[in-house]
Chain A
Amino acid sequence: MGALRGPKVRSEKSKVESSKGHSIFFYFLLLTCAVFFLFPFMWMLSTALKPGHLLFVEPPVWFIWPPAWNNFVEAWNSAGFGRYGVNSMWVAGVTIIGTVGSSSLAGFAFATLPARGKRLWFGLLLATMMVPAWATLIPSFLLFSRLGLTDSYLPFVLPAFCAPAVYVFLFRQSFLGLPPQLLDAAEVDGATPLQSYWHIALPLSKPVLATVAVFAFIGAWNDFLNPLIYLRSLEKYTLALGLSFLNGPNFQRLHWQMAMSLVALAPVVVIVLVAQKLVVNSFDVGGIHL
Chain B
Amino acid sequence: MTFAGLSARAASLFAVCALTLGACAAPPPRAQDAQVASAPTAPIKLRLGVSLTAEELKDYEAAVKALDEARPEWEIALEQVPQDGNLEKLTANAAAGALPDVQYVFTNQARRFIAQGAFLDLTPLVAKYTFDLADFYPNLLAPLQFERDGAQGLYGIPTNAAPEIVFYNKAMFDAAKLDYPTDAWTLDDMRVAARKLTLDKSGRNAEDPAFDKSQVAQWGWYGALPAGLYSRSFITPLDADWCANPDCSQMDFTSAPVLKAIQFWADMSVNEGTALADTFRGSQTGAGGDPFIAGQAAMGMNGWFAIGQLNSQGSINYDVVQPFKGPSGTRGSGVSVSGYAISATSANPDEAFKLLMALSEPAFLSRVWAKPGHGIPARRSVAADAVDTAHPPANQAAAIAALEFGQPFAPYTSGGVEAYLTTIDLFIAALKGERALEPTLKEIETTANDILQKAGP
Contact = CB atoms under 8 A, between A and B. Distances in A.
Q: Do chains A and B touch in the complex (CB under 8 A)?
A: yes
Interface of A: 52-58, 78-79, 137-138, 141-142, 145-146, 150, 224-225, 228-229, 232-234, 241, 244-253
A244 B54 contact: no
Interface string B77-94: 111111111001101100
B295 A251 contact: no
A251 B305 contact: yes
A251 B53 contact: yes
Interface in B40-69: 47, 53-55, 57
B314 interface: yes
A247 B294 CA distance: 16
A234 B84 CA distance: 16
B453 interface: no
Contacts of B38: none
Contacts of B47: 232
A53 B80 contact: no
Given A250-B53, A252-B289, A228 B85 contact: yes
B108 to A, nearest CB: 11
A56 B314 contact: no
A56 B54 CA distance: 22
A193 B248 CA distance: 68
Given A79-B54, A233-B79, A252 B309 contact: yes
Contacts of B24: 142, 146
B54 A78 contact: yes
Given A146-B96, A228-B82, A228-B89, 15 more contacts: A53-B314, A55-B315, A56-B287, A56-B293, A56-B295, A56-B315, A57-B315, A224-B85, A229-B92, A244-B82, A244-B83, A248-B53, A249-B84, A250-B53, A251-B55
B289 A233 contact: no
Contacts of B85: 224-225, 228, 241, 244
Contacts of B98: 145, 150
Contacts of A78: 54-55
A228 B88 contact: yes
A53 B83 CA distance: 24
A233 B75 CA distance: 14
A251 B96 contact: no
Given A78-B55, A138-B95, A234-B78, A251 B313 contact: no
B308 A251 contact: yes
Nearest to A229: B92
Contacts of A224: 85
Contact of B96 (A56, A58, A142, A228): A142
B82 A233 contact: no
Interface of B: 24, 47, 53-55, 57, 77-85, 88-89, 91-92, 95-98, 162, 287, 289, 293-295, 303, 305, 308-309, 312-315
Instruction: Name the residue among A54, A55, A58, A246 with the largest chain B CB count within 10 angstroms.
Output: A58
Given A141-B92, A251-B305, A53 B53 contact: no
A272 B420 CA distance: 43
B88 A245 contact: no
B37 to A, nearest CB: 31
A138 to B, nearest CB: 5
B314 A248 contact: no
B79 A248 contact: no
Contacts of A228: 81-82, 85, 88-89
B129 to A, nearest CB: 27
Nearest to B217: A58
A232 B79 contact: yes
Contacts of B95: 138, 141-142
B161 to A, nearest CB: 13
Pick the most buried of A55, A79, A244, A248: most chain B CB atoms within 10 A of its CB.
Answer: A248
Contacts of A241: 82, 85
Contacts of B309: 250-252
Contacts of A137: 92
A251 B83 contact: yes
Contacts of A58: 295
B54 A251 contact: yes
A167 to B, nearest CB: 26
B83 A248 contact: yes
Nearest to B82: A244
B83 A250 contact: yes
Contacts of A145: 96-98
Contacts of A245: 53-54, 57, 82
Contacts of B303: 250
A225 B88 contact: yes
Contacts of A54: 315
Nearest to B23: A146
B225 to A, nearest CB: 19
A253 B312 contact: yes
9 contacts: A56-B293, A57-B315, A142-B96, A146-B24, A228-B81, A229-B88, A232-B79, A234-B78, A248-B83
Nearest to B295: A56
Contacts of A253: 54, 312
Contacts of A248: 53, 82-84
A241 B96 CA distance: 21
B88 A249 contact: no
A280 to B, nearest CB: 38
Nearest to A237: B80
A2 B3 CA distance: 56
A237 to B, nearest CB: 8
